[in-house]
Structure 1
Amino acid sequence: MKFSALLLSAILSIVSISACAELKPEQIMAKNKGLILYNQLKIDLATPYLEIASEAGDSESQYYLAEAIRQSNRYMTSEAQKWYEAAARQGNYYAMIQLGRSGNDLCKVMNNCPESGKPPVDWLGNARALAKPLAEQGDAEAMYIMYEITLNRDWLEKSANAGNSTAQFWMAIGDKQGEGFLLPWKRKEAVGNWFKASAEGGNPRAMMEYAAYLYENEGDLKIARHWIQLAAEKGYKSGVSSYGAYLAHAPDRFGFELDLIKGYAITSLLKELDGGGNVQVYVDEVLPEIAEKMTPQQIKEAETFSVQWKKTHPPLSFFPDKLSR
């Protein structure tokens, strides 16, 4: 059933007039730094930077600040709720969904959930009221939001067919896990097609999954190498670690031509993630293995290469799900 224009107008009234808050240059810098650290899973380091842009009224920063606070505490706190609500009042779907899911939060078990003027189900209702009209008009992100609200896979498939790379990725994962009604030989084909579509849409997680799919099912190593390299060039941690290791033949996989200098350089970039995702353990194991095959001059060249790579590529990122669980 479609929402009436009157009801939709009422829902839209929750959106703050500061939804398009203009940030000063120093606030933009703080936001960007905070998002980089957040995506590197350096949650505690990201928080003070996100606070600067959040205080200035930036909805995206408010959402990620709330995410950082909730993840750091492992449950919904009054501070996290405050920033989720600030973002939600500016029409942020994702904040509304997280507020809507707070009824199942750990704080419920601990009996210390923060007070709110609106129950979780109402926040989900707000998100639905904003997203559904847009979804029905073909908006791919709104369709994905409807899937997150309802968990109805039809919405996920509609979003994927409309070109949403996140939806395409989860369609592939779902088909791989046996969801939906597909014949076995069609299921494998569907998984490959969805990963390919998502990768072509710029999703680095799908790029790595599609490379693995090609390796396991089609033996097309040339195309698989292309996607691993592209995932690395986008800064995806798994792409960087795989690309660097395979170039240095540590191990030799996917048929990459041996390039110790480039392999060492790219692997060394992961040192920047120390403090996020336990990556340093991997670096401490693999980097010396590569260095053993190199001369001091080659290591020096690799260090120069890594500096240039950082200047010409995006910051490293784990590309975490926007809606964390």
Structure 2
Amino acid sequence: MRRSKSSTAFFLLLYVFFSSAQVQAQLSPDQLAAKTKGIELYNQFKAISAKPQLKIAADAGDPEAQYYLGEAIRTNDKYMTAEAVSSYEAAALQGDIYSMIRLAGEKNDLCVAMKNCSKTRKEPGAWGKMALDTASARSAEGSAEAMYLKYRVTGDDKWLEQSAENGYVFSQYFLGIMYRQGHGHFLLPSRRAEAIEALMKASAEGGYPKAMLEYGAILAEKNDYQGFRHWNQKAAEAGYAIAVFGYGYYLSQETSEFGFTYDPVNSYALLSLLRELDGGGGMLDRVNSKLPELSAKMTTEQISQATELAKEWADTHPPLSFFPDKL
């Protein structure tokens, strides 16, 4: 379909605005540190603690921080507040497609009823159009992430497939999950299994921790326990909280069906790291049920060694994260 001259001019204007806005949003070292910490806390399901950190960078004009601040507010308050909408709008007007998609799905019925909608409020359909047009423009430039976002806007699987083909690790993982749930058309079940394995392998090798566990599980089903151990360890080393627990748990077993070497000191170190996850996710309950059982079999010296190993791990590995989907 041919785009009108006025439409083309509008999107050129948006492009220029987005580009200049992103250039202007330069964070100071302190603001960048606050943003990084805020996203870290959000990914640990600590939305309340994340808010003040994210607000520092959001107030400085950083669109990613503005999006995550909107997410933290919405998650904590359990609904789309005017404050959350305002944060999403600030990010969306700087070209953040994630924020556009959030706003496109929000009817703002509450703010209309309370008569406190933001002055920049657009109808959901307008945000949806902006999200589609922005994602389309960036997809045409080769952005695999934008292809994924275009899939989220249109629901057209071809964009998810193109995103995966172009190396976006989340799309590779997500498409693999979709295939496992029965999406897609395959003549033989073996072809479906091969496609799932190839996607999870690509995503795992690309560095996506959730795919590392999925690929490891596929290898275990094929009795490749060395591969299973490798990818569980890699996912733990990437900071994936579920994998840290799993790896620590396997090391606590005196006899392992998957061939893990019994190592109570490293097991205790890994599991004790997870005690900082005192927000959502239920991880603290798991750890508190396992650590006493493990420590009962250890000497005071071993526990002391484990405590030092935990500190060393925290200093040399990425922060713990549940890696929640960004949308």
Report if aligned partners of 2:216, 2:232 keep a CA contact under 8 Å in 1. yes
- How far residue 3 of structure 1 moved from its aligned partner, in angstroms, is 4.1
Structure 2 match to 1:190? 195
2:21 is aligned with what amino acid?
S
Structure 1 match to 2:204? 199
- How far residue 124 of structure 1 moved from its aligned partner, in angstroms, is 1.3
Residue 24 (1) aligns with residue 28 (2): yes
Report if aligned partners of 1:76, 1:113 keep a CA contact under 8 Å in 2. no
Q: 2:9 aligns with which of 1, 6, 30?
A: 6
CA distance 1:162–1:2, change in 2 (3 Å)? farther
Report if aligned partners of 1:65, 1:80 keep a CA contact under 8 Å in 2. yes
Write out aligned runs for 1:39-118 (5 A).
Answer: 39-103=43-107, 115=117, 117-118=121-122
Report if aligned partners of 1:81, 1:114 keep a CA contact under 8 Å in 2. no
> Any idea what SS the aligned residue of 1:117 has?
coil
Q: 1:288 aligns with which of 287, 292, 301?
A: 292
Q: 2:217 aligns with which of 196, 199, 212?
A: 212
1:205 is aligned with what amino acid?
K
Identity of aligned residues (%): 46
Residue 146 (1) aligns with residue 150 (2): yes
Structure 1 match to 2:321? 317
Report if aligned partners of 2:255, 2:262 keep a CA contact under 8 Å in 1. no
- How far residue 14 of structure 1 moved from its aligned partner, in angstroms, is 5.6
Report if aligned partners of 1:76, 1:114 keep a CA contact under 8 Å in 2. no
CA distance in 2: counterparts of 1:208 and 1:220, whole angstroms: 14
- How far residue 133 of structure 1 moved from its aligned partner, in angstroms, is 2.7
In structure 1, stretches of 5+ residues that fail to align are none
> Which shows bigger deviation, 70-79 or 8-17?
8-17
CA distance 1:92–1:47, change in 2 (3 Å)? same
Residue 307 (1) aligns with residue 311 (2): yes
2:324 is aligned with what amino acid?
P
Structure 1 match to 2:123? 119
CA distance in 1: counterparts of 2:16 and 2:80, whole angstroms: 25
- How far residue 28 of structure 1 moved from its aligned partner, in angstroms, is 1.5
Residue 180 (1) aligns with residue 193 (2): no
CA distance 1:304–1:237, change in 2 (3 Å)? same
- How far residue 138 of structure 1 moved from its aligned partner, in angstroms, is 3.0
Residue 298 (1) aligns with residue 302 (2): yes
In structure 2, stretches of 5+ residues that fail to align are none
Q: Normalised by the size of structure 1, how large is the TM-score?
A: 0.93
Report if aligned partners of 2:66, 2:90 keep a CA contact under 8 Å in 1. yes
CA distance in 2: counterparts of 1:16 and 1:177, whole angstroms: 39
- How far residue 31 of structure 1 moved from its aligned partner, in angstroms, is 1.1
Structure 1 match to 2:267? 263
> Which shows bigger deviation, 297-306 or 135-144?
135-144
> 1:83-126, CA deviations, whole angstroms, 9 ceiling, x for partnerless residues?
000001111010111111113x7x56996696353111111111
How well do the aligned residues superpose, as a CA RMSD in angstroms? 2.0
Q: Normalised by the size of structure 2, how large is the TM-score?
A: 0.92
> Which shows bigger deviation, 250-259 or 260-269?
250-259
CA distance in 2: counterparts of 1:72 and 1:146, whole angstroms: 28
Report if aligned partners of 2:254, 2:262 keep a CA contact under 8 Å in 1. no
Structure 2 match to 1:15? 18
CA distance in 1: counterparts of 2:134 and 2:255, whole angstroms: 49
- How far residue 244 of structure 1 moved from its aligned partner, in angstroms, is 0.5
CA distance in 2: counterparts of 1:113 and 1:207, whole angstroms: 48
